[in-house]
Amino acid sequence: MTTCALRARGLRLEFPGVVALDDVDLDIPDAALTVIVGPNGAGKSTLLETLAGARPPASGSLEVDGRSRAFVPQRAAVAEHLPLTVRDVVTVGVWGRLGAFRRLTRAYRESVDHAMRRLDVAPLARHPFSSLSGGQRQRALLAQGLARAADILLLDEPTTGLDAASAELNRAAISSEISRGAAVVCVSHDERLIDEADHVIRIEAGRLRPASERVR
């Protein structure tokens, strides 16, 4: 029986003069890939950020039943003056697992190392994150999400703008997360990811349209 990792009911989110999300109901299953699609400006990234807890809705409810979440934005900008290395950025992924005042143990360091190897950014570990190309940044950010080992992984355009090899690394990492039981939700225009998805959610003008489901 499929279990629900995240449940949203009646989500509404407003920006000044704009309703970004309107009466959104959805269930995100464990151990499955859910892809959010729709035209530009439809509310895809806003929905993902709301599911991640980064944007509180004006009304409605969001239930995760104690599950942990990791949110990977699309090529997040890092202030150029911050002396963060790639390893520093990936290590942020385990902070939520450490708890207050706990030191980075060997097990957590190994988790960071493993995530960097999976996304082929280990050779860049000591490089300034701000010096990376867009594709390298996206792989490092995904490695940060993997290091967290979250129950729910929320990804914004994880393969957009990447070369073929980098995109394939990211797809393989997503597949691996699903295999370990994580619920993966991503906004994507990638036809490969959409075709491989267990569930496809379409959003237009902040409202959900009929979704499709694929049985593997």
pLDDT tens digits for 39-71? 999 999 999 999 999 999 999 999 999 999 999
Task: Name, in order, each residue with C-beta under 8 angstroms of 70's C-beta and a sequence gap of 6 or more.
Answer: 93, 96, 144, 145, 146, 148, 150, 152, 153, 154
Given this model, what pLDDT does residue 213 score? 45
> For residue 15, how far is the Cα from the chain centroid?
23
Q: Is 72 buried (19+), middle (13-18) or exposed (0-12) by CB count in 10 A?
A: buried
Choose between 82 and 42: higher pLDDT.
42
**pLDDT mean over 30-38:** 96
Q: How confident is the model at residue 212 (pLDDT cuts 50, 70, 90)?
A: low
**pLDDT mean over 157-168:** 91
Claim: this prediction has a pTM higher than 0.95: no
Domain edges within the chain? 1-68+151-161+181-215, 77-149
- The pair of three-digit structure tokens given for residue 122, joined into one six-digit string: 């280990």
Given this model, what pLDDT does residue 37 score? 95
Q: Which residues is 114 bridged to in the sheet?
A: none
Q: How confident is the model at residue 216 (pLDDT cuts 50, 70, 90)?
A: very low
**Can you tell me which residue has the tokens 């299953």?**
29
For residue 153, pLDDT over 70 is answered with yes
Q: How confident is the model at residue 1 (pLDDT cuts 50, 70, 90)?
A: low
**1-68+151-161+181-215 CATH:** 3.40.50.300
What are the Cα distances from residue 73, in Å, to 100, 157, 216?
25, 8, 28
- The pair of three-digit structure tokens given for residue 8, joined into one six-digit string: 């949203």
For residue 20, pLDDT over 70 is answered with yes
Q: How far apart are CA 3 and CA 127, in angstroms?
A: 41
**φ/ψ (deg, to 5) at 105:** -80, 170
Given this model, what pLDDT does residue 77 score? 57
For residue 12, pLDDT over 80 is answered with yes
Given this model, what pLDDT does residue 202 score? 95
pLDDT tens-digit map of 85-109: 999 999 988 876 665 446 777 888 8
Would you give the DSSP letter of residue 50? Answer: H
**pLDDT mean over 24-36:** 96
**pLDDT mean over 180-201:** 95
Given this model, what pLDDT does residue 155 score? 96
**pLDDT mean over 164-190:** 95
- The pair of three-digit structure tokens given for residue 198, joined into one six-digit string: 């267990």
Would you give the DSSP letter of residue 12? Answer: E
| Contact in structure between 21 and 50 (CB atoms under 8 Å) | yes
Q: Percent of the chain beyond pLDDT 70?
A: 90
- The pair of three-digit structure tokens given for residue 43, joined into one six-digit string: 């509310």
**pLDDT mean over 112-140:** 93
Q: How far apart are CA 36 and CA 201, in angstroms?
A: 5
For residue 80, pLDDT over 70 is answered with no
